[in-house]
Amino acid sequence: MTKEERLKKRHQAEKRFRFYGITSIFVALLFVVILVQNIFSKGSSAFKKTVITTEVFFDQELLEIQNGASQEEIMDADFYDIMIENLIKAYPAKDRDEEDELLKLFSGDAEIEIKKAFLNDNNLIGKTITLDLTASDDIDQLHKGNYPRDLPEERRRISDFQLVIYDYFVENKKISKNFNNYFFNNGDSRDPELAGIGGALVGSFYSILICLLLAFPVAVLASIYLEEFAPKNKITDFIEININNLAAVPSIVYGLLALQILLATIQLPRSTPLVAGITLALMTLPRIIIPCRASLKAVPPSIREGALAVGASKFQSVFHHVVPLALPGTLSGTIIGLAQALGETAPLILIGMVAFVVDIPSSPVDPSSSLPVQVYLWSESAERGFVEKTSATIMMLLSFLIVMNFIAVYLRQKFEKRWN
Amino acid sequence: MNIVLIFLITIFSVSLFFYGKSKTKTISIKDNIKLNALPKFYGYYLVLWCSIPALVFLLVWSLFEPIIIKSIIIETAANQGAIFSDKNEANLIYEKIKAIHLGTYFGDIDSILRESALAYAKFINLFTNSKVVLIFAIIIASVIYSLKKIKNNNKARDDVEVILKGLLFVSSLIAILTTLGIIFSLLFESIKFFSVINIFDYLFGTNWSPQRAFVRDASSITAAEFEELKDAFGFIPLIAGTSFIAFIAMLVAVPIGLFSGIYMAEYASIKVRRISKPIIEILAGIPTVVYGFFAALTVGPFFRQVGENLGLTVSSESALAAGLIMGIMIIPYVSSLSDDVINSVPQSLRDGSYAVGATKSETIKQVVIPAALPGIIGSVLLAVSRAIGETMIVVMAAGLAANLTINPLESTTTITTQIVMILVGDQEFDSPKTQSAFALGLTLFIATLILNYIAQRAVKKYREKYD
pLDDT in tens, A131-145: 888 888 888 888 888
Confidence band of A75 (pLDDT split at 50, 70, 90): confident
Contact B293 A379 (CB under 8 A): yes
Q: Which residues of B touch A323 (CB under 8 A)?
A: none
Write the DSSP symbol of residue A310.
T
Judged against a pLDDT cut of 80, whether residue B274 lies above it is answered with yes
Confidence band of A8 (pLDDT split at 50, 70, 90): very high
Confidence band of A293 (pLDDT split at 50, 70, 90): very high
Backbone angles phi, psi at A263, to 5 degrees: -90, -50
A378 CA: distance to closest CA in chain B (Å): 10
Q: What pLDDT sits at residue A1?
A: 76
Indicate if A222 and A306 belong to the same structural domain: yes
Q: Which residues of B touch A6 (CB under 8 A)?
A: none
Which of A236, A251, A260 is the best residue to mutate to test the B interface, defined by the most B CB atoms within 10 Å of its own CB? A260
Residue type, A413: Q
Domain-located, residue B166: no
Query: Which SS3 state, helix, strand or coil, does residue B302 take?
Result: helix
B74: left (phi > 0), else alpha (psi -120 to 50), else beta?
alpha
Domain-located, residue A20: no
Judged against a pLDDT cut of 80, whether residue B244 lies above it is answered with yes
**Would you tell me how many other CB atoms lie within 10 Å of the CB of residue B59?**
11
Contact B362 A372 (CB under 8 A): no
Tens of pLDDT, residue by residue over B361-412, are: 999 999 999 988 888 998 899 999 999 999 999 999 888 888 788 888 888 8
Judged against a pLDDT cut of 70, whether residue A373 lies above it is answered with yes
Q: Which residues of B touch A262 (CB under 8 A)?
A: none
A77: left (phi > 0), else alpha (psi -120 to 50), else beta?
beta
Indicate if A168 and A232 belong to the same structural domain: no
Indicate if B146 and B248 belong to the same structural domain: no
Domain-located, residue B188: no
Nearest to A125 by CA among A74, A168, A172: A74
* pTM given for the model: 0.89
Average pLDDT value for residue range A5-23: 92
Contact B189 A260 (CB under 8 A): yes
Considering only CB atoms, B449 lies closest to which of A219, A245, A346, namely A245
A175 CA: distance to closest CA in chain B (Å): 30
Contact A387 B297 (CB under 8 A): yes
Q: What pLDDT sits at residue A208?
A: 96
Contact B297 A250 (CB under 8 A): no
Confidence band of B121 (pLDDT split at 50, 70, 90): confident
Domain-located, residue B196: no
Indicate if A136 and A214 belong to the same structural domain: no
Final residue of a structural domain among B93, B124, B154: B154
A232 CA: distance to closest CA in chain B (Å): 13
A111 CA: distance to closest CA in chain B (Å): 29
Q: How, if at all, do strands A128-134 and A175-179 pair?
A: unpaired
Confidence band of A20 (pLDDT split at 50, 70, 90): very high
Judged against a pLDDT cut of 60, whether residue B101 lies above it is answered with yes
DSSP A7-38: HHHHHHHHHHHHHHHHHHHHHHHHHHHHHHHH
Domain-located, residue B328: yes
Indicate if B244 and B390 belong to the same structural domain: yes
Q: What pLDDT sits at residue B30?
A: 81
Confidence band of B449 (pLDDT split at 50, 70, 90): very high
Q: Which residues of A touch B263 (CB under 8 A)?
A: 18, 21-22, 24-25
Burial of B106 (0-12, 13-18, 19+ CB in 10 A): exposed
Confidence band of B220 (pLDDT split at 50, 70, 90): low
Q: What pLDDT sits at residue B317?
A: 84
Indicate if A106 and A174 belong to the same structural domain: yes
Final residue of a structural domain among B154, B181, B216: B154
Q: What pLDDT sits at residue B429?
A: 64
Q: What pLDDT sits at residue B187?
A: 93
Judged against a pLDDT cut of 90, whether residue B355 lies above it is answered with yes
| Rounded CA separation B218/B195 (Å) | 9
Tens of pLDDT, residue by residue over A223-259, are: 999 999 988 889 888 888 889 889 889 999 999 999 9
Contact B328 A252 (CB under 8 A): no
**Structural domains in chain B (count):** 2
Range of the domain at A204: 198-415
The alpha helices in B81-155, defined as continuous H runs, are: 87-102, 111-151
Indicate if B249 and B107 belong to the same structural domain: no
Q: What is the CATH number of the domain that holds B417?
A: 1.10.3720.10
Judged against a pLDDT cut of 70, whether residue A349 lies above it is answered with yes
Indicate if A169 and A213 belong to the same structural domain: no
The answer to which of A217-231, A275-289, B212-226, B274-288 has the lowest mean pLDDT is B212-226
Considering only CB atoms, B360 lies closest to which of A14, A31, A219, namely A14
Q: What pLDDT sits at residue B427?
A: 65
Judged against a pLDDT cut of 70, whether residue B219 lies above it is answered with no
B224 CA: distance to closest CA in chain A (Å): 31
Contact A344 B287 (CB under 8 A): yes
Indicate if A208 and A157 belong to the same structural domain: no
Average pLDDT value for residue range B75-80: 79
Q: Which residues of B touch A224 (CB under 8 A)?
A: 168
Domain-located, residue A26: no
Tens of pLDDT, residue by residue over B124-153, are: 888 889 989 999 999 999 988 888 887 777
Sign of CA dihedral B167, B172, B174, B180: negative
Domain-located, residue B215: no
Judged against a pLDDT cut of 70, whether residue A420 lies above it is answered with no
Q: What pLDDT sits at residue A275?
A: 94
Domain-located, residue B271: yes
Write the DSSP symbol of residue A57.
E
Final residue of a structural domain among A152, A179, A206: A179
Indicate if A252 and A208 belong to the same structural domain: yes
Q: How, if at all, do strands A128-134 and A48-57 pair?
A: antiparallel
Chain B, nearest residue to A16 by Cα = B361
Considering only CB atoms, A222 lies closest to which of B174, B185, B452, namely B174
Q: What is the CATH number of the domain that holds A290?
A: 1.10.3720.10
Domain-located, residue A214: yes
Contact B262 A21 (CB under 8 A): yes
Tens of pLDDT, residue by residue over B329-347, are: 999 999 988 888 888 889 9
Tens of pLDDT, residue by residue over A153-165, are: 777 788 888 888 8
A271 CA: distance to closest CA in chain B (Å): 11
Domain-located, residue B213: no
Q: What pLDDT sits at residue B214?
A: 52
Tens of pLDDT, residue by residue over A165-195, are: 888 888 888 888 889 888 998 888 888 888 8
Q: What pLDDT sits at residue B425?
A: 65
Range of the domain at B305: 236-466
Judged against a pLDDT cut of 60, whether residue B218 lies above it is answered with no
Share of chain B above pLDDT 70, in %: 94
Indicate if A154 and A217 belong to the same structural domain: no
Q: Which residues of A touch B456 (CB under 8 A)?
A: 244
Confidence band of A67 (pLDDT split at 50, 70, 90): confident
Indicate if B147 and B285 belong to the same structural domain: no
Share of chain A above pLDDT 90, in %: 41
**Structural domains in chain A (count):** 2
Indicate if B268 and B387 belong to the same structural domain: yes
Final residue of a structural domain among A125, A149, A179: A179
Considering only CB atoms, A249 lies closest to which of B174, B388, B448, namely B448
Contact A38 B298 (CB under 8 A): yes
Indicate if A173 and A108 belong to the same structural domain: yes
Nearest to A238 by CA among B179, B101, B95, B105: B179
Indicate if A175 and A264 belong to the same structural domain: no
Residues 6+ apart with CB under 8 A from B88: B428, B429, B430
